[in-house]
Structure 1
Amino acid sequence: MTDQREKPSSSRRAFLSASAAVAATPVLGHAAHATGLRKQVPDPELKALLREIDPHRIGSIVTRLAAFGTRHTLSSQDDPERGIGAARDWIHEQFQRYAAQSGGRMTVELQSFIQPPGPRVPVPTRITNIVATLRGDRDPDRVYVVTGHYDSRATDVMDATSDAPGADDDASGVAAVMEVARVMATRRTEATVVFAAVAGEEQGLYGSDHLAQRYKDAGADVQAMFSNDIVGTGDAHDGTAADPRTVRLFVEGVPTAETPAQTSTRQSVGGENDGPSRQLGRFVRDVAENPQTGMKVRVVWRRDRYLRGSDHISFLLRGYPAARLTEPRENFAHEHQNVRVENGIQYGDLVEFCDFRYIARVARVNAAALWSLAQAPGTPKGVIIDTTQLTNQTTLRWQPSPATDLAGYEIVWRETTAADWQHTLPVGTATTTTIDISKDNVFFGVRAVDREGHRSPVAAPTPG
């Protein structure tokens, strides 16, 4: 074996100093204190919030958006009845109504820009996102974003005139986002939550790309982003069994924005299953699989489906943790197809293919995740695993949380062959701890907990 310990030529003073620092940290034996993974129980306000999500309101939103005929990005901007401009104005009006009930905490903006010509944009085109921001009370600079895209398309992605009702893709996602915005607008959150209906998705993710870049330019601390894209039904209408209680959550492994050096460093302690988006996927499944949502979250360890991509990619490209929610099985025969009738059967992305109760359950998954994130402390930052000492113990360090209601931190770990965290060890409010478990054998993580039991997503360490 190769001995990776410090060579005799290194500074003895540095070696003794590092050894003393480890010795000064209390060593926590794990057998008497660790438990199985501690799950987060929905708090009473979250339960009440989830009960308010209304499938009838969601159905009204999907039906109204489909009634604009087409919402193609290149369609009319100023027709009051048909086209993307009419849809934009209607969504903006609804968000303003929600904001009016927020006591000034929610603000709404039309975020417009001119997209230069590109492969699917033949002429300079105005693209507009409708963005409703619910500002947090205690930690407003910590941000969570959720989107649905309100543009639609026909079979020909450049056809801006034919009917393209886009009920499933993606009036369903917009409806879920709008309904969660409505029920959360009347409640106080600790962190900031942003609800956005973005455009230009079908032409190249242009709206979400602009939104993500705005946050990047501002140095925003976006700790999670969710795209709701094609969440209309658990029944693919293709002869397969319906699956009305499952939603897929796509989360990438190796972060898109990571450099090769960062990948090498991270893989030495966790591998591709411990990137921020994978931790986000574990968190969502933890907080959203409960009787109040009535849903199973099927976490898929991929960035997105083959040959497809949604608006979360715009955030991944800028280094933000992000995930995509979508129905369990798509019916490609009616997605994006121009509306037609064959043998009495309608084909096309029509309202009739959507299940409003299913969309409501997906909205509850979103609400459970967003509420739990916004009420908990932020994900710990600067988590380091000490790899300078040849020892069977493990020392972890991290930056202190700014949460004013912090109760402490928990160390979690799992076998290297396990998909999810298996053990939890509370370690108090200290930001350095040494555990009597070998770092060679397991993967570690750290999460913060507040006094009401809200837990942050886990942060995996990097070597230091």
Structure 2
Amino acid sequence: MKKKFLYFISSFLVFTQLSLSQVAEDPEIRRMISEIKTENLQATVNKLVSFGTRHTLSDTKSKTKGMGAAQQWVKSEFDKAALESNGRLTSSIDYFTAKADGKRIPADSYIGNVMATLKGTDPTDDRVLIISGHLDSRVTDVMNAKSNAPGANDDGSGVAAIIELVKVMSKRSFPATIIFVAVTGEEQGLIGARYLAEKAKASNWNIAAMLNNDMIGNSLSSGTNLRDNTQVRVFSETIPYLETEEEAKMRKATSRDNDSPSRLLARYIKTTAEQYVDQLTVKLVYRNDRFLRGGDHTPFSQNGFTAVRLCEMNENFDHQHQDLRTENNTVYGDLPEFMDFEYLRKNTCANLAVLANLASSPKKPVNVGIEVKKLSNSSTLIWSAPENKVPYGYQILMRETASSHWEKTFFTKETQIEIPYSKDNYFFAVQSVDNLGHTSLPVFPIPIR
């Protein structure tokens, strides 16, 4: 009896040790977050608005007005940041011809995405992280390329966030590569993002995650007048667009309908952003985008990449896709005075925390499985270390099947763990972690028979 009691106490202590969450924070990420300034974001939005319209089909020759001038200015901001990057940051405008489609592209048009690439420092790490906002703007008529279309929030907010991230993050180095891109043609049918996604697929880029930021700077809803600058939505697809027949069988067998790669990324964003950014809660929205609408992450999802959209909690349709005018004492139009720049700061910081963690993290564990050889009220997970580098340890994530987000974590330095929770009642995932708490994206286990 005494031996059994001592064995129980010993087992309890070991399990308690394994149950401790990795709560380490990277002080450098904290410093980077402190460098994100509300006034800088506001100045950038005001500058973007000063170009009049940034319609995809607007003037490309003027140095002060239209899409061409806006693109050159964004690139110049990237170039300034490159001077402090020790050669790691490079920029370009990736031009291509958008073919006439008889819809929103009336004639073949020469357009481009403004890109800044912060090259990873680890030659064995081919992971690429992409963060985007769309540079183009519009008024009520999506084909109106002449009228003033300030596009302060849609999507000057996303582009301002990207420019601020480039300025802060280019001073640091990360093992993985980060591509910051202000895409063109979102309002004309996601053409800039589709071109980039198809190029990435053809070039076999190892895109670990794609974050699309579209409208992240408004906190007041139209109609309902709800104001909330403490929540941001993250949209993620349920079933991957390019799911194979075998993957579908495994999804159905393991009931992982709510654990697509994009959804695992969305939960990662929630965990990381809420750890580092005060007064901000990430709201997980279980659909690819708003009802019957889409964004620049969609072409990436359609090409098999893990992609999500970050978007403000409350949209204001008086200041979205509107001609500038005043009717019945209501001012319409996407103008800077209707934005909440402190909210934009918080959302920018959330993106920074996620990018910095992912770009610094070990690679994901491989061959992640869960034993199903016998019936048991415990669960045994087994995996292999990622190639090239063995991480400091691993974190096992767990939640009840009815829960939307991870509820408990376990840490181990081994590549196998048995925990006293039944796989009948819980979902699990495994991620690599380093000694500063940088975690890889989670991997959902498959059955091991």
CA distance in 2, matches of 1:284, 1:39: 16
Note closer, same or farther for the CA distance 1:291–1:106 as it changes in structure 2 (3 Å cut).
Answer: closer
How far has the Cα of 1:274 moved from its partner?
1.2
Q: Which amino acid is 2:160 matched to?
A: A
Superposition pairs of residues 8-87 of structure 1, within 5 angstroms: 32-33=14-15, 38=21, 40-87=23-70
What is residue 295 of structure 1 aligned with on the other side?
280
Note closer, same or farther for the CA distance 1:352–1:404 as it changes in structure 2 (3 Å cut).
Answer: same
TM-score, reference length from structure 1: 0.88
Note closer, same or farther for the CA distance 1:153–1:417 as it changes in structure 2 (3 Å cut).
Answer: same
Note closer, same or farther for the CA distance 1:390–1:299 as it changes in structure 2 (3 Å cut).
Answer: same
CA distance in 1, matches of 2:388, 2:317: 46
2:24 touches 2:436 (CA, 8 Å); kept in 1? no
CA distance in 2, matches of 1:407, 1:377: 9
CA distance in 1, matches of 2:339, 2:408: 40
1:251 touches 1:277 (CA, 8 Å); kept in 2? yes
Superposition pairs of residues 134-283 of structure 1, within 5 angstroms: 134-138=118-122, 140-236=125-221, 238=223, 240-283=225-268
What is residue 347 of structure 2 aligned with on the other side?
362
1:40 touches 1:287 (CA, 8 Å); kept in 2? no
Note closer, same or farther for the CA distance 1:446–1:152 as it changes in structure 2 (3 Å cut).
Answer: same
What is residue 453 of structure 1 aligned with on the other side?
437
Note closer, same or farther for the CA distance 1:259–1:31 as it changes in structure 2 (3 Å cut).
Answer: farther
Q: Deviations over 1:260-291 (max 9, x none)?
A: 44123123224211111111111111111146
| Matching of residue 400 in structure 1 with residue 382 in structure 2 | no
What percent identity do the matched residue pairs reach? 40
1:37 touches 1:421 (CA, 8 Å); kept in 2? no
Secondary structure at the counterpart of residue 269 of structure 2: helix
Note closer, same or farther for the CA distance 1:29–1:186 as it changes in structure 2 (3 Å cut).
Answer: same
Count of equivalent residues? 435
CA distance in 1, matches of 2:11, 2:73: 59
CA distance in 1, matches of 2:445, 2:195: 31
Counterpart among 318, 325, 329 of residue 340 in structure 1? 325
Secondary structure at the counterpart of residue 310 of structure 1: coil
Note closer, same or farther for the CA distance 1:279–1:361 as it changes in structure 2 (3 Å cut).
Answer: same
| Matching of residue 375 in structure 1 with residue 357 in structure 2 | no
How far has the Cα of 1:163 moved from its partner?
1.3
CA distance in 2, matches of 1:205, 1:265: 32
Superposition pairs of residues 88-167 of structure 1, within 5 angstroms: 88-118=71-101, 119-138=103-122, 140-167=125-152
1:410 touches 1:448 (CA, 8 Å); kept in 2? yes
Q: Which amino acid is 1:99 matched to?
A: A
Secondary structure at the counterpart of residue 396 of structure 1: strand
Structure 1: segments with no counterpart, 5+ residues: 1-27
Q: What is the RMSD of the two structures over their aligned residues, measured on CA atoms?
A: 2.2
CA distance in 2, matches of 1:120, 1:127: 14
Structure 2: segments with no counterpart, 5+ residues: 1-9
CA distance in 1, matches of 2:199, 2:366: 23
Note closer, same or farther for the CA distance 1:103–1:41 as it changes in structure 2 (3 Å cut).
Answer: same
Secondary structure at the counterpart of residue 163 of structure 2: helix
Q: Which amino acid is 2:135 matched to?
A: Y
